[in-house]
Structure 1
């Protein structure tokens, strides 16, 4: 084991924060004044750290094989420097691609998707409410002004999407993966649309329907417990938004997903696809065990595509890409806001989780979410993950639609309308 310690010693000294390791037997190595202390109960976990398998180390922390003291921000600063290389390196072999496709197909049946979504989103509404904004918007905020709070930035994001979609009173609007109803209700209350939302989360479905009733929006707003593949295509929507949902679709089902979106959209209508994208062109998850960690504890079945692949899938579905906006650093700031809010309420979070159906695993769930939020914040800061808003249309085939000849959609082919105050 002296070999492991000799290997780690120079790495520990070079870190931007003070890191100390307490190894089996009680010996302490690393910085004398440490910001972060990791306590190892067996040598196997120390070997994981020496190999730079940050995701596996996270698993050991969740399972209690490694103890942790210190701030999450400091732990992530250390983790970023302990990686042996880039976690977005691509494996482009035909065999690996075939395996990824087979696994994707197996993981994304309607039943599997429902189970996987409920595993994550139905942990506890009260738990999420501790660290989300009052609207419970669980996606990247938009810090239009640097001084915005998280709550202000989330309302800014909701309005940003509604503006991009050019929502108008009376239009039929679909929110695919509507979460706790933030966008669905914002669009109905501020833009006067007839709004339909869908989710696979039973908790979210019940929560949003309570809000619809309390706001007396019945008849104009509805929330359905439904898979996107089951939506009725007989009456199309004017505008469609999908926010933080297509990460659950799976690479092998992207043609099904965007094909369905096109059929649900009126000719000339607009669709906004807002979602996490991969930092590497051919990767579906982060390396160094980080993607495996998220798949095991947070988002089972989640898959990521590079923005270029998403645009290709949209084009194959005959959707015309109109505008692309990268909000990557906005998501880093959003995730740090969530992480900091959770860190400030750890005893309450533990208590809330102990009242759920996973009470026996409450401590593990909490450790997993602490690592997930901070780790994702670091990943967006580093550029390993990204976030794109992609605005597209279903061209109506009419050569003189709109102010510009050949526009073929509601989009004016300039961005001024999005940013008008």
Structure 2
């Protein structure tokens, strides 16, 4: 046996579950009844398997150089065990490294490039997303507030969790930055009586939400705009602002300007909720071992991970004070597994919807993306933080007693006490 195959065989034998490998020449390594089977069609895939470069191996799968068979949870168990080390390990770069990162981040996030990157992901197919999202098509981390909740229940709990944190009140002007398919926008309008504005760069999402607004008879106080956040009108500020699953697309170099923009859109005494994915490592802008490259190429071009400490620094420099921070990491792992399970249960239908050779590639990419991200959140390689922020304090001695003109009460019992 050649040295490469010897390494691969030792790797497979050391895995915590049975794995079989079918070589390009038809030879078989491993037991006859495995829980996971790799069918290699190209020798380069064998080298990636030996290296534990699971993200590159994922690219091999999407491009048809290797097939992967088995339950996606078992596949991810094998993938995690193949890694040579933690994918969040990253050395702190020098000034030149940081300069290059900043220049690339600025270049990648012009108004025009962001529009194309959002279109690439979110306009893939509404029918495809509808197969595995909840009925409201909430495409962000759910909140499993109670054991046994279904995904749909947990998504509604998340929407309400955000509204309660923001202390939404009847008649307030509410802005949803990156409103997706309208889950939070419509929940806030229907359950909290706000005058709601949502923005998106996705034409599919814009059309979908605009249709729902008309169907629900909310056209008088709910609107959806196809608009970049940088172009929002600052002349009439909002009482409350939410940004859910959006700031990951902003870029690290733009974060301070992004939060400064939200600050200018906010009324004095208002509140901002930023809900988004954060990095586990302070210095890495993406996961290692090829996983970040996989996401960039097939799923979220232009996406950049940022550690919570860096996010809070950017918030502070943008003129905001953080008043409540909550990590929902395990909630997102459960959310992603629910999405993965739903997609796996409807693979033939998904293939028909996406269609063709490119559709097959997209389906393979999404299978690995959903299950791989679930694994990432389970292992703590990535996290999900909700940060509630407000303009800086004004030196008032009475703010702890929660006077009526202050939005944040400084006591968490306001969220789930009697009433809202």
TM over 0.5: yes
Determine the structure 2 residue equivalent to 1:193: 194
Deviation at 1:409, TM superposition (A): 3.8
- Pairwise CA distance, 1:68: 1.6
2:76 equivalent in structure 1: 76
1:99: how far off? 1.8
Counterparts of 2:113 and 2:406, CA distance in 1: 36
Going from structure 1 to structure 2, the CA distance change for 1:96 and 1:403 (only over 3 Å counts) comes to closer
Residues matched between the structures, number: 417
Measure the CA separation in 1 of the matches of 2:215 and 2:207.
12
| C-alpha contact 1:314 1:320 (8 A) present in aligned 2 | yes
Tell me what 1:57 maps to.
57
CA distance in 1, matches of 2:392, 2:98: 32
CA contact (8 A) 1:395 1:409 kept: no
| Match of residue 392 from structure 1 | 389
Secondary structure of the corresponding residue to residue 419 of structure 1 = coil
Q: What CA distance in whole angstroms lies between the structure 2 residues aligned with 1:407 and 1:97?
A: 45
Q: In 1, are the aligned partners of 2:402 and 2:410 still within 8 Å (CA)?
A: no
> Distance between the aligned counterparts of 2:105 and 2:23, measured in 1?
39
Q: In structure 2, how many angstroms separate the alpha carbons of the residues matched to 1:280 and 1:97?
A: 15
| Alignment of structure 1 residues 201-212 onto 2, 5 Å | 201-212=202-213
> C-alpha distance in 1, partners of 2:232/2:209?
19
How far apart in 2 are the matches of 1:117 and 1:411? 33
Structure 1 stretch displaced more, 106-115 or 400-409: 400-409
CA contact (8 A) 1:322 1:391 kept: yes
Does the 8 Å CA contact 1:320/1:392 hold for their aligned counterparts? Answer: yes
| Secondary structure at the counterpart of residue 191 of structure 2 | helix
Q: Which runs of 5+ in 2 are unaligned?
A: none
Partner Cα separation in structure 1 for residue 36 and residue 166 of structure 2: 46
Aligned: 1:137 with 2:138: yes
1:376 pairs, out of 365, 369, 373, with 373
The question of whether the paired residues in 1 share the 8 Å contact of 2:278 and 2:308 is answered with yes
Please list the CA deviations of residues 340-388 of structure 1 after superposition, one character each: whole Å capped at 9, or x if unmatched.
000000000011112xxxx441110100000000000000000000000
**1:11-50 map, 5 Å:** 11-50=11-50
Q: Which structure 1 residue ranges, 5 or more long, are not aligned?
A: none
Q: Give the stretch that moved more between structures: 117-126 or 62-71.
A: 62-71
CA distance, structure 2, for counterparts of residue 157 and residue 126 of structure 1: 23
Q: Out of 362, 365, 368, which is 1:365 matched to?
A: 362
Q: Assess if the C-alpha contact under 8 Å between 2:400 and 2:410 holds in 1.
A: no
Q: List per-residue Cα deviations over 1:157-197 (Å, max 9, x = no partner).
A: 00000000000000000000000000000000000000000
Is the Cα–Cα contact under 8 Å of residues 12 and 19 in structure 1 kept in the other structure? yes
Q: Deviations over 1:315-352 (max 9, x none)?
A: 11120100000000000000000000000000000111
Using the TM superposition, give the Cα deviation of residue 267 of structure 1 relative to its aligned residue in structure 2, in angstroms: 1.1
SS of structure 1 residue aligned to 2:415: helix
Per-residue CA deviation, residues 220-241 of structure 1 (Å, 9 max, x unaligned), is 0000000000000001100000
* Alpha carbons 2:8, 2:46 under 8 Å: kept: no
Partner of 2:86: 86
- 1:335 alignment counterpart: 336
Query: Which segment is superposed worse, 378-387 or 404-413?
Result: 404-413
**2:286 paired residue number:** 285
- Counterpart CA distance in 2 for 1:181 and 1:376 is 23
Tell me the CA shift for residue 72 of structure 1.
1.0
1:100 positional shift: 1.4
Q: Counterparts of 2:372 and 2:357 in 1: how far apart (Å)? A: 24
Q: CA deviation at 1:5?
A: 1.9
Q: Aligned partners of 1:85 and 1:109: how far apart in 2?
A: 35
The alpha-carbon distance between structure 1 residues 344 and 121, as it changes in their structure 2 partners (threshold 3 A), is same
For residues 376-413 of structure 1, what are the alpha-carbon distances to aligned partners after superposition, in whole Å with 9 as ceiling and x for unaligned?
00000000000000001113626156553899841000
**8 Å CA contact 1:397, 1:408 repeated in 2:** no
1:277-326 CA distance string (max 9 Å, x none) = 00101111100000000000000000010001001111111201000000
